[in-house]
């Protein structure tokens, strides 16, 4: 079967806010290697009615990214002006074909990247179910792991993206496997650099700090609960220097906010002791409240009788 340029895997409502979104798969006939991920089919989760650039400008990217903090910090690693925008343009020019069962053969034995742009949590899990069932492996990450709308079945396909130790502990409690970003070296400002690993973590082997030992298509540790390992990978924040700075900026503010909450807003400090009523006091109050409510009820019943 000749591989099409791209396949429309899903066209329907976003699980995040119910707006129309599309999921496109590209790179199906492409055998080129990405130095970190290896050769993988890419999937793009985008708003249906506007390009990713416009969606970001007008805030409609909420349908595909949710309230991911990196949107606000400006530290998202995806450059939407390049691949996502061009993919959307190709979709608008009818270059992609709708998914058919026979297309599953094209995914057989391949590695897939779930959400090269967009959060896989926005898409019904049966979409990932289908293509992953025949694939050789995949990588998937979600920042929506602590949201109420999340499908628990997504734990089998995605890693919880955690940006600090607090998030990591929360996600572990909820049963996720995690992919944690750490700052690396501690900063002179006194901000904790989070350079240590927990007993259940290992350094991502495709990272610079692990000397790029392998690629994701060979490692296959980021397949949610379907991976063979139960340990969680960790990577030092990387990419463009401007994005790293924004990431640090945002995460430092989160840590300061947490510290601020602990010192000024700790509910344990403010908690007042409730006054215990003595038995004699309770007895005194009881007949008054009961009488009042009965009287109200009687008044209403009387009104109904007249006007019914």
Segment 229 to 268, residues that bind ligand SF4, using CB under 6 A: 233
219 belongs to the binding site for ligand SF4 (CB under 6 A):
yes
204 belongs to the binding site for ligand SF4 (CB under 6 A):
yes
Binding piece for ligand SF4, criterion CB under 6 A, among 26-34, 79-87, 214-222, 292-300: 214-222
# binding residues, ligand SF4 (CB under 6 A): 10
CB of residue 20 vs ligand SF4: minimum separation in angstroms?
A: 31
Binding piece for ligand SF4, criterion CB under 6 A, among 41-49, 58-66, 215-223, 289-297: 215-223
The correct pick among 222, 236, 237, 251 for binding ligand SF4 (CB under 6 A) is 222
Cβ-proximal residues to 74 (8 Å cutoff; 6+ apart), any chain: 243, 246
Binding piece for ligand SF4, criterion CB under 6 A, among 21-29, 67-75, 118-126, 203-211: 203-211
Nearer to ligand SF4, 19 or 226 (CB): 226
* Four-point Cα dihedral 280, 284, 286, 289, nearest 10: -150
Nearer to ligand SF4, 73 or 141 (CB): 141
206 belongs to the binding site for ligand SF4 (CB under 6 A):
yes
Between CA 254 and CA 244 the distance in angstroms is: 15
CB of residue 78 vs ligand SF4: minimum separation in angstroms?
A: 15
Between CA 256 and CA 241 the distance in angstroms is: 22
Between CA 303 and CA 308 the distance in angstroms is: 8
Give the DSSP per-residue string, 192-222: -------TTEEE-TTSGGGTT---HHHH---
205 belongs to the binding site for ligand SF4 (CB under 6 A):
yes
> Contact 46/115 with Cβ under 8 angstroms?
no
Residue with tokens 């006939």: 29
The separation between CA 308 and the C-alpha centre of its own chain, rounded to angstroms, equals 55
Q: What angle do CA 149, 155, 157 make, to 5 degrees?
A: 115
Between CA 272 and CA 84 the distance in angstroms is: 54
135 belongs to the binding site for ligand SF4 (CB under 6 A):
no
Specify the 3-state DSSP secondary structure of 208: helix
The correct pick among 221, 236, 237, 251 for binding ligand SF4 (CB under 6 A) is 221
Contact set with ligand SF4 (CB under 6 A): 139, 204-206, 216, 219-222, 233
């Amino acid at each position: 079967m000749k591989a099409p340029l791209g396949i429309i895997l899903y066209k329907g409502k976003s699980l995040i806010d119910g707006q129309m979104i599309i999921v496109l798969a590209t790179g199906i006939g492409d055998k080129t290697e990405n130095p970190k991920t290896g050769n993988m089919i890419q999937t793009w989760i985008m708003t249906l009615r506007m390009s990713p650039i416009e969606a970001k400008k007008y805030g409609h990217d909420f349908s595909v990214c949710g309230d991911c903090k990196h949107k606000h910090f400006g530290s998202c690693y995806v450059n939407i002006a390049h691949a996502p925008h061009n993919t959307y343009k190709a979709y608008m020019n009818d270059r992609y074909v709708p998914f058919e069962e026979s297309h599953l053969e094209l995914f057989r034995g391949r590695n897939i990247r779930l959400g090269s742009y967009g959060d896989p949590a926005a898409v019904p899990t049966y979409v990932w179910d289908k293509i992953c069932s025949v694939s050789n492996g995949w990588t998937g990450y979600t920042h929506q792991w602590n949201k109420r709308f999340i499908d628990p079945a997504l734990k089998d396909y995605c890693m919880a993206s955690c940006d600090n130790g607090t998030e990591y502990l929360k996600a572990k409690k909820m049963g996720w496997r995690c992919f944690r970003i750490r700052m690396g070296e501690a900063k002179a400002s006194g901000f904790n650099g989070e350079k240590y690993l927990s007993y259940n973590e290992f350094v991502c082997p495709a990272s610079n700090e692990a000397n790029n030992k392998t690629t994701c298509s060979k490692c296959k540790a980021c397949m949610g609960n379907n991976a063979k390992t139960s340990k969680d990978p960790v990577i030092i924040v990387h990419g463009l220097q401007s994005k790293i700075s924004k990431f640090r900026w945002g995460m430092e503010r989160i840590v300061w906010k947490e510290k601020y909450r602990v010192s000024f807003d700790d509910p344990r400090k403010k908690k007042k002791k409730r006054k215990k009523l003595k038995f004699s006091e309770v007895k005194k109050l009881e007949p008054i409240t009961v009488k009042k409510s009965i009287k109200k009820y009687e008044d209403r019943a009387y009104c109904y009788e007249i006007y019914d």
